Structure 1
């Protein structure tokens, strides 16, 4: 698959999040923004220690990078939810056996239906004040004892070029959103771990972590049983 042109990326970046991803969807899997397969595979290996799982939900599923993984670790067909119709169309072509739902992740339309929820690389699309509605909805979607698995890449040190690349990206996005409408919410360093954990706990989760050697760790937020 040929990736998007510079012009196409520029048009996407000057659109809203939903419209931008609708435009990018047909070529999204050829961009660096797609969750890398080694990261998905590491998540699958880490989850193997905590199963078996019956039914899985991929929150902000995009084109479906996590849906194939859910098929391997759960007994029933997975569900993917996203608010971009274009991304869901690509996911439908790649994963015809998945149940796909178009919805805003800040108001998930599910109640105690899943025992595993995952989300890959989506937090950057939510402002800090939007984490609680997101986590509240995931908590409601899980059965008692269910797990929300949130893969987290290793944070680069200030001495590493990646640190300054991420910081520079966020600065560019802040400038863009200050001078252009509609906003495109995509920040890479706005969810420090203490604040993230605090919002998960406030939503009713207990928290544990397990290492994913070579890539980071898996945050395991569990809805308490009973």
Structure 2
């Protein structure tokens, strides 16, 4: 516990309206793969609805790997297998490892009212991961 900090763990798509505009920071870790591409704009709008004006949405992502690279082939192959599974078994949740890639997600963040700052994540020299700090524009229309 941290004094003055309220931790809330929830599915952003089902957060009670009473929590609207209550948070200075929303962090997402490991959840983007469960948000389908058609759901992405609504997901970002839901995050924005939780933040106070000027609040921040923080997450780590990276670029989509090149098509002919080993990581790109592995991720696309895994996604193809999961897409078949999703159609055959209708699982409770989906998984897509190529969601919310940077910079592809930038226009959706902008449309949801965020100003974006990106910082390279220097864990290894070879990494292409980035920390995205998306701050809600103070003049956001809350209608």
Global fold match (TM > 0.5) = yes
What residue number does 1:79 align with?
7
Q: How does 1:1-226 map to 2 (within 5 A)?
A: 76-82=4-10, 104-109=11-16, 110-153=19-62, 155-158=64-67, 160-182=69-91, 184-213=93-122, 214=124, 215=127, 216-226=129-139
* Cα offset, 1:176, TM superposition: 0.6
The runs of 4+ residues in structure 1 deviating greater than 3 Å are: 153-160, 190-195
Alpha-carbon contact 2:64-2:101 (below 8 Å) kept = no
SS at match of 1:80: coil
More helix by share: 1
Once the 2 structures are TM-superposed, how far is the Cα of residue 195 of structure 1 from its aligned partner? 4.3
Task: Provide the alpha-carbon RMSD of the alignment.
Answer: 2.4
Which segments of 5 or more consecutive residues in structure 1 lack a partner in the other structure? 1-67, 83-103
| 1:139-170 Cα distance to aligned partner (Å, 9 max, x none) | 12111111111111465444542222211110
TM, length-normalised to structure 2: 0.78
Classify the secondary structure of the residue corresponding to 2:8: strand
Q: Deviations over 1:15-46 (max 9, x none)?
A: xxxxxxxxxxxxxxxxxxxxxxxxxxxxxxxx
Retained in 1: the 8 A contact 2:63–2:102?
A: no
Q: Decide whether aligned partners of structure 1 residues 165 and 159 sit closer, same or farther in structure 2, where only a CA change above 3 A counts.
A: same
**TM-score between the two structures when normalised by the length of structure 1:** 0.52
Equivalenced residues, count: 133
